[in-house]
Structure 1
C-alpha cells in the first residue's frame, strides 16, 4: 500500500507539473504577443525598460515578503555577471525579433534553446554525449536552418535576430545551472528583470528618444508584466514538481501557442518550411530528453 500510495502521489505531482508547464508556456506566448503589439507604438528600448521596472517591482515585493535580501552578495559573483550579460543579449535580440519578424518563426527558433544547452554543456563541462545525441543535436540545428532557409529567396537577414536571442537564452540557462544555490527564484527573477532595464537603456541610447506612452500602452505593458511574472512563477513551480523527465518536454508547447497567437492576433501564415522546421526542432529536443532519461535510469 505505501508503494502504491507513493506511485499515485508521484503521478499526481507529474500531472500538476505538466499542467503548470503548459500554463507557463501559454502565458509566455501571451507576454510575447503583448510586447510585440506595444513595440509597434513605442521604441523597443522603452518597452524593455518599462517591462523590466515593473517586473523588478513585483519580484522585489516577493523578496521582501520572503524575508530575503534584495542585493545578495552572490549577485556580484562571476557566474551571475555572465548570466546577466547573456540575459541582456537574449532579451534584446529576442524582443527585436518579435518586433521585426513573425511571432511564429521567432517561437520556432526559440525551441532550439535546450538543444544548444546540451551541445554547449558537452563542450564546456565535458558532459557525456554519445553519437546518437550528437546526431539529434545536428538534426535540431537542421530544423533551425529549415525555418531560416538561408539559401532561398524567402530568407530574411532579420531572422538572425531570433538566432542571436536564442543563443543568449541558452547562455543564460547554462549560467543559471551554475548560479549560487543560495539565490532564490525570486532573487533570480529580480536580477533577470533588472537586466531588461539595462537592455532597454542601451537600446534607447542607440535607437532614439523615448515616447510618452498612451493609457492603452501602459495597460498592455502592465498586463505583460503580470502575465510574465505569472509565467515565470508557473515555470519555477513546474520544475520543482514531479519528475523533470516528465515535466520538461511540455516546454515545447510554447511553439503551438506562439504560432496560434501569430495567426490569430497578427494574421501570420506560417509556411510549410516553418512548420516542418519547428516540428524537426521539437522532435530532436524531445529525443535528446528521452536519451538522457534512459542513460540516468
Structure 2
C-alpha cells in the first residue's frame, strides 16, 4: 500500500511537470505569434480587443459548467474593476515591447515577478518576509540588471515597457491573492479579460486596421493558446506540490531562446543566460524558504 501511494505521487509529480513544461511552451508560442503580429504593424490594442472578444465568448460558452450567470456576481465589484484596468497594462506593455525586444530578453525580465511579489507582499498583504528571502530578492534583481546589461550602449529602451508589464502583472497577481478570499478563480479570470476588452474597446478606433484572414487566424490561435496554456498551468499546480512544478516555469527562457532563434534569428547574449540563472536560483530559493516555513508547526498562543 505504501509503495503504491509513493508510485501514485511520483506519477502525479511527473504529470504535473509535463503539464507545466507543455503549458510554458504553449504560452511562449503565443508570445511568438504576438511578436509576428505586432511586427506586421498590428497595434497591441487591436490584438487585445479581438482576443478579448474571443476569450469572453469561450468563457460564456463554458459558463453553464461553472454555475451559470450567478457565478459572475462579484462580491467586491469595484476592486475587480480596478484589477481589470491594471490588468490591461500587463499584456499591452509586454506586446508593445515585443515589437523590438528579443523574446528571450523580455522573458528573462519577467522572471523577476516572483521576486517583486515577495518584496511587495509585506506592504500590500502584510505578509512577513524574513532576511533570507529579502536577500534572495536583492540577489534576484542583481540578476535582472545583469540580464538587461544597462552599461552597454545597445540597451533597448523598449525594455522599460517590459518593466511596466512586470509591475502591472505583479499588481494583478497581488490583487488576485487579496481577492481570492471572496472571488472564484473563474470570476477573477472573467473580469480580468472583461477589463481588457472594455479598455481596448475605448481605444481601438484610433488604431484599427483591416485584418486579413491569416491575421485573424493568428489572433484566434493567440486567444486559444492563452486559455489552453493557463489551464495547463492550473492543472500542473493541482497535480503536484508547488515546490515541484514551480521551478519548471523557468523553462520558458529555454523555449523563448529556441523559438526566438528559429523564427526571428535572435541569439541571446551571455548576460541574458547569466542573469536568468541568477533570477531563477533566487526564485527557487524563495520557494524553498516558503515551503520550509509552511511545514513548521504553528505555535499556539498560551491560554488567557
Q: TM-score, normalised by structure 2?
A: 0.89
Q: Is the 8 A contact 1:87 1:168 kept in 2?
A: yes
Q: Is the 8 A contact 2:81 2:191 kept in 1?
A: no
Q: Is the 8 A contact 1:185 1:236 kept in 2?
A: no
Q: Is the 8 A contact 2:56 2:194 kept in 1?
A: yes
SS in 1 for 2:69: coil
SS in 2 for 1:126: coil
Q: TM-score, normalised by structure 1?
A: 0.91
Per-residue Cα deviation, 1:128-165 (whole angstroms, up to 9, x for no partner): 22222111101111111112223331222211111110
> How do 1:1-297 and structure 2 match up within 5 A?
1=1, 3-41=2-40, 42-69=42-69, 72-74=72-74, 76-181=76-181, 183-201=183-201, 203-204=203-204, 208-297=206-295
More displaced 10-residue stretch of structure 1: 11-20 or 72-81 = 72-81
- The alignment of Structure 1 onto Structure 2 pairs a total of residues equal to 294
1-structure distance, mates of 2:232, 2:90: 21
Unpaired segments ≥5 residues, structure 2:
296-304
Deviation at 1:268, TM superposition (A): 0.8
1-structure distance, mates of 2:36, 2:71: 33
Unpaired segments ≥5 residues, structure 1:
none
Deviation at 1:58, TM superposition (A): 1.0
Deviation at 1:201, TM superposition (A): 3.4
1-structure distance, mates of 2:75, 2:217: 32
SS in 1 for 2:129: coil
Q: Is the 8 A contact 2:20 2:233 kept in 1?
A: yes
Quote the RMSD (CA, aligned, Å): 2.0
2-structure distance, mates of 1:235, 1:192: 17
Per-residue Cα deviation, 1:169-221 (whole angstroms, up to 9, x for no partner): 1111111112245644333332232233234335536xx43111111101111
Q: In terms of Rg, which structure is larger?
A: 2
